[in-house]
Structure 1
Amino acid sequence: MGWFSRLFGSSESPKQAVVEPVEYKGYLIYAESIAEGGQYRIAGRITTGEGDSLKTHRFIRSDLLGSEGDANELMLKKAQMFIDQMGESIFNN
């Protein structure tokens, strides 16, 4: 039945965890580590603004850590450092 579900789509959608953002200097940081081979890759996004003026910067790092909590904690520290170094230019293309 799995083959059939993949072919025609399944009514079940994967459940995504709700990530609570951390506010830092007017930016919102979302730690969204990615499970990979029994470890967790550092990933997340930084946002600013609301509605039509919402700006988002997503990133995935090469770092892999043994626990999701450690990966999210390191992501938060890296995002804060990135904000300190780059400021608003984070969102320039």
Structure 2
Amino acid sequence: MGFFSKLFGSNKSESNTPEVEPTHYNGYLIYPEPKQEGGQFRIAGRICKEVNGELKTHYFIRSDLLSSRHDAETFMIKKSEMFIKQMGDKMFK
């Protein structure tokens, strides 16, 4: 059965992704979600905020590659905080 689910696009592989604990910053939730690429980690994640009763999400992907997941998560949080200071809710438009 595993062969057929892979062949026809079952989403089981997506459930293997670890749940990310968000960092709270000025009313925003920052979810660091580095992408593994060739033994390194690309800085990526989400910035979320509830605006007028609707959850808004901005996906954040950078070209930077780092050697460890922890470093990529830390850098993502720092860059997201700077982005939030600069853009605020305008990032969702």
Q: TM-score range by the shorter chain?
A: 0.7 to 0.9
More strand as a share of residues: 2
TM-score, normalised by the number of residues in structure 1: 0.86
SS of aligned partner of 1:88: helix
Equivalent pairs counted in the alignment come to 91
SS of aligned partner of 2:81: helix
Of all paired residues, the percent bearing the same amino acid is 58
1:39 maps to 2:32: no
Cα RMSD of the aligned pairs, angstroms, is 2.2
Offset, 1:59: 1.6
Structure 2 stretches lacking a partner, 5+ long: none
2:12 maps to 13
Assess, with a 3 A threshold, how the Cα gap between structure 1 residues 75 and 4 changes in structure 2: closer, same or farther.
same
Assess, with a 3 A threshold, how the Cα gap between structure 1 residues 26 and 7 changes in structure 2: closer, same or farther.
same
Aligned partners of 2:49, 2:5: CA distance in 1, in Å? 38
Moved over 2 A (4+): 1-10
